[in-house]
Amino acid sequence: MPNGMPKDSPCELLSLSAYELARKIEAREVSAREAAEVANARVEEVEGDVNSFVTITPELAVERAERVDARMKNGGVKLWEGVPIAVKDVLSTRGVRTTCGSKILENFEPLYDASALLNYGEDMIVVGKANCDEFAMGSSTENSAYGPTRNPWGLDRVPGGSSGGPPRPSPPARAGGLWAPTPAAPSGSRERCAASWV
């Protein structure tokens, strides 16, 4: 972060939309690294209650955020590249465990990113892989081999959706205080279920 850059508190950053955060990063009011660190801290704080991730990647998020910050000095960074994201666990992510919510793929690490993720850039800041029903075949995120995701508005309720709710943003991540736009693979209009369950 350049000297003299105003530093927002984590609470202030978490209250921003993904777009507002992207604009602050673009204006160099906050760094991508700082955003990644705030997201990582929030995941660590709430993940034990909501189980919204199968895999968390705090070191990778910071490493990639630093690369985005370095590239930003030379321009050519897309507006959204500095915003940390969660990726549904059915989408391949280069070098990051991708299980599809199944023990069958428990140790699978893809060599490439899914086509749906390519616009996020080579340094996609992934805070983790969002929990989902096994192979996304469900509508409540209760059937993951890695345990159910809990509704952050009521831990005794299901969040709905095969990945814990609508694809952008994932409600467990959003309600947990993360920006986390979540690229996903909506199927069967399951994302509409969550609205009636919240």
How many separate domains does the chain show? Answer: 1
CATH number of the domain that residue 184 is part of: 3.90.1300.10
Distance between CA 137 and CA 169 in Å, rounded? Answer: 20
Q: Is residue 34 scored above 90 in pLDDT? A: yes
- pTM confidence score: 0.82
Distance between CA 129 and CA 192 in Å, rounded? Answer: 21
Q: Would you say residue 5 lies in a domain? A: no
Distance between CA 127 and CA 84 in Å, rounded? Answer: 6
Measured in degrees and rounded to the nearest 5, phi and psi for residue 50 equal -100, -20
Q: Is residue 27 scored above 60 in pLDDT? A: yes
- How many CB atoms are closer than 10 A to CB 139? 21
Indicate the average pLDDT of the chain.
Answer: 81
Which domain covers residue 128, as residue numbers?
Answer: 10-197
Q: Would you say residue 3 lies in a domain? A: no
Q: Convert the pLDDT of each residue in 144-196 to its tens digit.
A: 999 998 888 788 888 877 666 333 344 445 545 555 555 545 444 444 454 45
Answer for the pair 94, 117: CB distance below 8 angstroms, yes or no: no
Q: Would you say residue 35 lies in a domain? A: yes
SS3 127: strand
Q: Would you say residue 73 lies in a domain? A: yes
Q: Would you say residue 31 lies in a domain? A: yes
SS3 120: helix
